[in-house]
């Protein structure tokens, strides 16, 4: 995970709504970065910008999604 | 159970109800996976099994060629299998049927049930804590999910034993005997019809009333048949699955003292440990029916055959999970598919995780040290759901 750590990067996280099936692993692992709707499906909080302190959690959420529904853009 | 030829060629003639598979399927899956990403047996009227994560994924996402109308591989194939929406639904009926069930099973909704589940666990432990040991499957793990679902549905906990009998008849005995299965389904339907009729007179605030009050996408109430089907699903899918998952976790902790000690010393590892138990001992294998000719992982598949959609085997695929056969309670990257993949993701996954976590936490709080009773035998279930049905434990350290 620390391979991805680079404080100068801005990461944006996004949940692909066509892929998300509501496993809710992202919400469990990175509660600040994701929200669940009334049906338990996930979407990113705000505009998806990942604060530097939460970069590890963002990658952890991505690597634990069984549906591969989490996209991380490295700007 | 019934007479059948013993397996001599696992790759071309596998049988997931063979006692050797039931006892320890992992080396068999390794053998199958080395042979092919998709294997076939003529048993069960013709059945495929994907052995890799990728092949399981391919089938899970292909609702065009594979139907969910039959979700159990059996030796009999009834003309119209009893529906249990949404698990037996295909698109486009699947989505609206599933959406009705999702809200009561979100993590937040499930968290509200946690105090009751903790109480259930402690009431069960009270009954055997003074003894030298117990059969953890029959005295503990078996009762937690059934009492929890009774609480959610607003039906008497005292009826638990009847539900457990129906599930055994449907999921295990029903593999070979259609009459037993249909009788259990009929009894279950009659039971719930009584509860539905009762609530028509006197509405309640439980899950049965929630379903009865639900409206479909056209604003119409669900038919009694739909409500009944969903109730059958909740009962069938919610009980021995979680019972098995909790049991397998306790079996692991009983047989791996170092992991038990570590979990006691580092309780913050509980979330990764639970995910790892789910991966390594995934209880549920669903099935699909091949509807149209296609190919999976380059292997042709023929309509009319069933598919043993083994999420447990996918979770042991070393190309996705490093050291797949090793249980690491601190495994960080663990995108396991114990709850399925694609549109049929288990609606109760958040409930199951909560029950599992609470059941292990409460057990460890009161019984820190335990091991298998060497004078007795652990017995695992057969078929669709794998878990210990007999788990004889001794408490305390060996003297």
Query: How much is the pLDDT for B399?
Result: 74
User: How far is the alpha carbon of B336 from chain A, nearest alpha carbon, in Å?
Assistant: 6
Beta bridge partners of B370: B395
DSSP for B320-341 reads: TSTTTTS--TT-------TT-S
Residue A53, in any domain of the structure: yes
Query: How much is the pLDDT for A2?
Result: 47
- Contact yes or no for A10/A73 (Cβ under 8 A): no
Query: How much is the pLDDT for A1?
Result: 47
Tokens 């042709």 correspond to B300
Residue of A nearest to B104 (CA): A39
Helix ranges, B202-321 (H): 207-213, 224-238, 240-255, 257-265, 270-280, 311-314
Taking an 8 Å cut-off on Cβ atoms, the answer to whether B339 and A23 are in contact is yes
pLDDT at A62 over 50: yes
B367 half-sphere exposure, CB direction, 13 A CA radius = 28
Q: Specify the number of domains making up chain A.
A: 1
pLDDT by residue, tens only, chain B of 399 residues:
456 789 999 999 999 999 999 999 999 999 999 999 999 999 999 999 999 999 999 999 999 999 999 998 988 887 777 788 899 999 999 999 899 899 999 999 999 999 999 999 999 999 999 999 999 999 999 999 999 999 999 999 989 889 989 988 988 888 888 899 899 999 999 999 999 999 999 999 899 998 999 888 788 898 888 888 889 888 888 888 999 999 999 999 999 999 999 999 999 999 999 999 999 999 999 999 999 999 999 999 999 999 999 999 999 999 999 999 999 999 999 999 999 999 999 999 999 999 999 999 999 999 999 999 999 999 999 888 999 999 999 999 887
- Cα–Cα distance between B363 and B365 in angstroms, integer? 5
Backbone angles phi, psi at B17, to 5 degrees: -105, 5
Question: Element (H or E) spanning A13, and its range?
Answer: strand A11-15
Taking an 8 Å cut-off on Cβ atoms, the answer to whether A40 and B332 are in contact is no
Instruction: Give B332's contacts (C-beta < 8 A, 6+ positions apart).
Output: A1, A60, A63, B272
Residues in chain B: 399
- Contact yes or no for A14/A35 (Cβ under 8 A): no
Residue A5, in any domain of the structure: no
Residue A3, in any domain of the structure: no
Residue A60, in any domain of the structure: yes
Residue A61, in any domain of the structure: yes
Query: How much is the pLDDT for B76?
Result: 85
The DSSP output letter for A75 is -
The bridge status of strand B133-135 relative to strand B392-395 is antiparallel
pLDDT confidence bin for A4, thresholds 50/70/90: low
Taking an 8 Å cut-off on Cβ atoms, the answer to whether A63 and B335 are in contact is yes
Residue B203 near chain A (CB below 8 Å): no
CB crowding B189-213: b at 16 or more within 10 Å, else e: bebbeebbeebeeeeeebbbbbbbe
Q: Answer whether the bond into residue B92 is a cis peptide, omega within 30°.
A: yes
Could you tell me the CATH number of the domain that includes residue A42? 3.30.70.20
Residue A36, in any domain of the structure: yes
What is the gyration radius of the CA atoms in chain B, in angstroms? 21
Burial class (CB in 10 A: 0-12, 13-18, 19+), B298: exposed
Task: Give me the interface pTM, i.e. the ipTM.
Answer: 0.93
Taking an 8 Å cut-off on Cβ atoms, the answer to whether B107 and A66 are in contact is no
Question: First CA to last CA across chain A, in angstroms?
Answer: 18
Query: Interface of chain A against chain B, CB under 8 Å?
Result: 1, 21-25, 27-28, 36, 38-40, 60, 63-68
Beta bridge partners of B192: none
Residues in chain A with CB shorter than 8 Å from the CB of B343 are 21
Taking an 8 Å cut-off on Cβ atoms, the answer to whether A39 and B106 are in contact is yes
Residue A41, in any domain of the structure: yes
User: How far is the alpha carbon of A25 from chain B, nearest alpha carbon, in Å?
Assistant: 9
Lowest mean pLDDT among A9-13, A47-51, B146-150: A9-13
Question: Element (H or E) spanning B133, and its range?
Answer: strand B133-135
Taking an 8 Å cut-off on Cβ atoms, the answer to whether A22 and B345 are in contact is yes
Residue numbers of the domain that contains A15: 11-74
Token pair of B41 as six digits: 């047996």
């Amino acid at each position: 995970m620390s391979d991805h750590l680079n404080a100068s990067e801005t990461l944006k996280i996004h949940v692909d709504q066509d892929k998300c099936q509501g496993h809710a692993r992202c919400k469990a692992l990175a509660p600040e970065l994701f929200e669940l709707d009334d049906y338990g499906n996930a979407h990113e909080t705000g505009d998806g910008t990942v604060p530097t302190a939460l970069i590890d959690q963002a990658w952890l959420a991505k690597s634990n999604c069984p549906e591969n529904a989490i996209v991380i853009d490295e700007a | 159970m019934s007479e059948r030829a013993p397996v001599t060629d696992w790759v071309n003639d596998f049988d997931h109800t063979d006692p050797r598979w039931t006892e320890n399927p992992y080396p068999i899956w390794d053998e199958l996976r080395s042979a092919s990403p998709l294997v076939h047996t003529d048993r069960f009227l013709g059945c495929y099994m994907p052995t890799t994560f990728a092949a399981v994924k391919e089938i899970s996402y292909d609702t065009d060629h594979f139907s969910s109308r039959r979700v159990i591989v059996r030796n009999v194939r009834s003309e119209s299998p009893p529906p249990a929406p949404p698990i037996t639904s295909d698109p486009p009926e699947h989505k609206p049927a599933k959406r009705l069930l999702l809200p009561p099973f979100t993590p937040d909704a499930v968290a509200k049930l946690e105090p009751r589940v903790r109480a259930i666990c402690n009431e069960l432990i009270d009954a055997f804590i003074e003894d030298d040991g117990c059969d953890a499957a029959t005295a503990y793990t078996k009762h937690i999910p059934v009492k929890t679902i009774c609480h959610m549905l607003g039906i008497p906990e005292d009826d638990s034993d009847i539900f457990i009998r129906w599930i055994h008849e449907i999921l295990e005995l029903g593999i070979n005997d259609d009459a037993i299965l249909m009788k259990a389904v009929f009894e279950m339907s009659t039971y719930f019809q009584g509860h539905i009729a009762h609530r028509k007179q006197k509405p309640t605030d439980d899950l049965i009333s929630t379903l009865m009050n639900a409206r479909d996408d056209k604003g119409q109430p669900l038919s009694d048949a739909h409500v009944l089907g969903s109730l059958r699903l909740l009962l069938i899918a919610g009980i021995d699955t979680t019972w098995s998952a909790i049991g397998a976790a306790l079996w692991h902790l009983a047989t791996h003292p170092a992991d038990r000690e570590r979990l006691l010393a580092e309780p913050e590892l509980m979330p990764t440990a639970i995910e790892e138990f789910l991966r390594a001992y995934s209880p549920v294998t669903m099935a699909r029916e091949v509807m149209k000719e296609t190919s999976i992982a380059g292997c042709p598949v023929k309509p009319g055959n069933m598919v043993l959609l083994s999420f447990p085997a996918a979770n042991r695929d070393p190309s996705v999970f490093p050291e797949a056969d090793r249980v690491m309670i601190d495994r960080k990257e663990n995108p396991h598919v114990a709850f399925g993949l694609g549109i049929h993701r288990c609606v109760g996954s958040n409930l199951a995780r909560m029950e599992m976590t609470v059941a292990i936490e409460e057990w460890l709080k009161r019984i820190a040290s335990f091991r298998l009773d060497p004078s007795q035998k652990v017995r695992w279930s057969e078929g669709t759901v794998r878990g210990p049905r007999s788990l004889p434990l001794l408490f305390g350290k060996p003297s």
